[in-house]
Chain A
Amino acid sequence: MTDKELALKSVEYRRKILKYIVEAKAGHTGGSLSCVDILNVLYNHVMNVSPENFKSPLRDRYIQSKGHTVEALYVVLADQGFFPESDLLTLCKYGSHYIGHPTKKVNGIEQNTGSLGHGLSLSVGTALAAKLDGLDYRVFTMLGDGELPEGSNWEGALLASHYQLDNLCAIVDKNGLQISGPTADVCNTDPLDRKFEAFGWEVRHVDGHDLGALKEAFAALPFATGKPSLIIAHTVKGRGVSYMENQLKWHHGVPNADQYAHALEELEAATAALQAALR
């Protein structure tokens, strides 16, 4: 996929995230918009996983620890062909499989998550299995910065380095905001790099909306042989829609008709700008 196609996908994914959240009248808007560029690069550029190989023991795995931003994941999975995108019109509606957190009832989802602090241990177990069996698949997990005070993360982090899981890559979607306020005010986890380094991880910082920088970071995996890798992705909550960016109320805010129209205009302008710039 060309850089242009990849960049256009990011805008398209944002448009779809909003579409289905508006349709459902529910969703974690801000966080979905902060993490979607990372998912774009993972699924379109990095991971060896597709509807065709999803049952293969050799596929790469993605486990979303910050389960509440499942809208971004659903949109990306639909684009990959795991299920018809029109299914997402049922998101969060009575009887739908498409609930507001990742569920294995949906093709392409590896693990049910939603309660925070669970993804890393699951990923450690999955990565450890590859080491035990001599398989070379990789495991990716995305954590929210707000969920890092959960102690289970640190139990998982310890064990990942104990077993030298260099086939494991965790990405922190560091958008700096959680439901009650700035993450630094709620329970500060900085300096995150030094904490994970002290736990035996190799850490890199990246602009989580810079697709080229993300590609570069993922291409460098593992950052050190015998160590798990952490990507601290600096992101903006609500990224791509000006009035949502860095605004707490869009944690799970749903745009009204006017706001939605405004957001679509901005995203259309972004598409046009990309096409002009990359022509």
Chain B
Amino acid sequence: MTQNELATYKANLDVFSGTLQELAETDRTILVVTSDSRGSGKLVPFGQKYPAQIVEIGIAEQNLVGVAAGLASTGKKVFAVSPACFLTARSFEQIKTDVAYSDNPVKLIGISAGVSYGALGSTHHSLHDFAALRAVHNLIVVAPADNFEAEHAIRRAAETEHPIYIRFGKKAMPYLTEDPSRRFEFGKGSVVREGADLVIIGTGETVYPAVLAANRLENVYGIRTTVVSMHTIKPLDYELLAKLAETGAPIITAEEHSVFGGLGEACASFLMQHGFHNPFKIMGIPDEYTVTGSQIEILHHYGLSEEGIAEAGFKLVDARK
């Protein structure tokens, strides 16, 4: 895809802020809470249009989440917006206790997630958030793949009466499909394309390169590939997983997250405990300090790219012959 073509798509983060503005037009209970992150959260227009519906906390993420929980306890639809790296590490205990345990329905929005911050380095990467938050009871964990999933995740989050964490990257994301019958529901993975030889399960911004990889595998090697956007990491769509695994096809998972504790291990855990022994590979960021580079360069470095995922898929299918 050329840069020009990509330019017609928006970042999921832009879709988030636009959707929030639409919701706020008719819903005065929508409240954005930020930690000096209205600029990076693309929320400046929101703040200009609805100054009474945005609260600045300052750079204090623990307080951000605690205050958001207090606000949400009064019936407000609170979106607590902060870089995913800080939101889910610095204020992990506030998420665990004030939001999840107390069941205050805060919508935790982790922006610039994964390695979106690129060369800013490991302080700014969130490669732990799925792992950490999966272990917290009473929390939905979501990584939308494209603009469609981003918009619907926000709309559904606004109506959800329990805590939820949604993470976004900041690069433009093409639509995975133009299928008008597309649906979005938390906890229900979305099959983007179908093929009998291989399954690739992605989440968030790895789904699009997975689709490109699937196209390449089919065009070059005739390997027919299913691609799933598993936008909800928790609760995981076990029904879909079982259906995918029943065919016996090799399965690859791809995530912009540590290989530890994220989508891949969640899938593996389910599959192993339910008697599935499909060839299986977890693609993600290995247990090391990430290489320096832009988000795209880092993802390429670790194989989370069209080429990398296609190569992994080819090897997995080839090994069965």
Contact = CB atoms under 8 A, between A and B. Distances in A.
Nearest to A127: B70
Interface in A104-138: 104, 110-115, 118, 120-130, 132-133
Contact of A156 (B55, B63, B73): B63
B93 interface: yes
A110 B62 CA distance: 19
A156 B102 contact: no
Contacts, number: 93
Contacts of A125: 66-73
Contacts of A115: 93, 97
A228 B45 CA distance: 31
A155 B74 contact: no
A110 B73 contact: yes
Interface string B70-94: 1111111000000000000000011
Residue among A110, A120, A132 with most chain B CB within 10 A: A132
A122 B69 contact: yes
B102 A159 contact: no
Interface residues of B, number: 28
A131 to B, nearest CB: 10
A57 interface: yes
Q: Taking each of B62, B68, B104, which has the highest tally of chain A beta carbons within 10 Å of its own beta carbon?
A: B62
B317 interface: no
A112 B101 contact: yes
Nearest to A119: B66
B58 A126 contact: no
A152 interface: yes
Contacts of A267: none
Contact of B98 (A122, A151, A162): A122
B103 interface: yes
A6 to B, nearest CB: 30
Nearest to B93: A115
Contact of A132 (B52, B58, B97, B103): B52
B271 interface: no
A57 B63 contact: no
B44 interface: no
Contacts of A130: 74
A156 B67 contact: yes
B241 interface: no
A156 B67 CA distance: 8
A159 B67 contact: yes
Instruction: With a 10 A CB-CB cut-off, give which of B55, B70, B74, B75 has the most chain A CB atoms.
Output: B70
Given A111-B98, A111-B102, A159-B58, A128 B71 contact: yes
B103 to A, nearest CB: 7
A221 interface: no
Nearest to A110: B73
A164 to B, nearest CB: 13
Interface in B76-132: 76, 93-94, 97-98, 101-104
Given A155-B62, A155-B63, A159-B60, A57 B74 contact: yes
Contacts of B71: 125-126, 128-129
30 contacts: A57-B74, A110-B73, A111-B73, A111-B98, A113-B97, A114-B97, A115-B97, A118-B66, A118-B98, A121-B63, A121-B67, A122-B67, A122-B69, A123-B70, A124-B70, A125-B66, A125-B69, A128-B70, A128-B71, A129-B71, A129-B74, A129-B76, A130-B74, A132-B52, A133-B74, A151-B62, A152-B63, A155-B62, A158-B63, A159-B60
Given A111-B102, A132-B76, 13 more contacts: A104-B102, A112-B102, A118-B66, A121-B67, A122-B98, A122-B102, A124-B63, A124-B70, A125-B70, A125-B73, A133-B74, A156-B63, A159-B67
The 5 closest A-B pairs by CB, nearest first: A125-B70, A121-B66, A155-B63, A125-B67, A129-B74
Interface of A: 57, 104, 110-115, 118, 120-130, 132-133, 151-152, 155-156, 158-159, 162
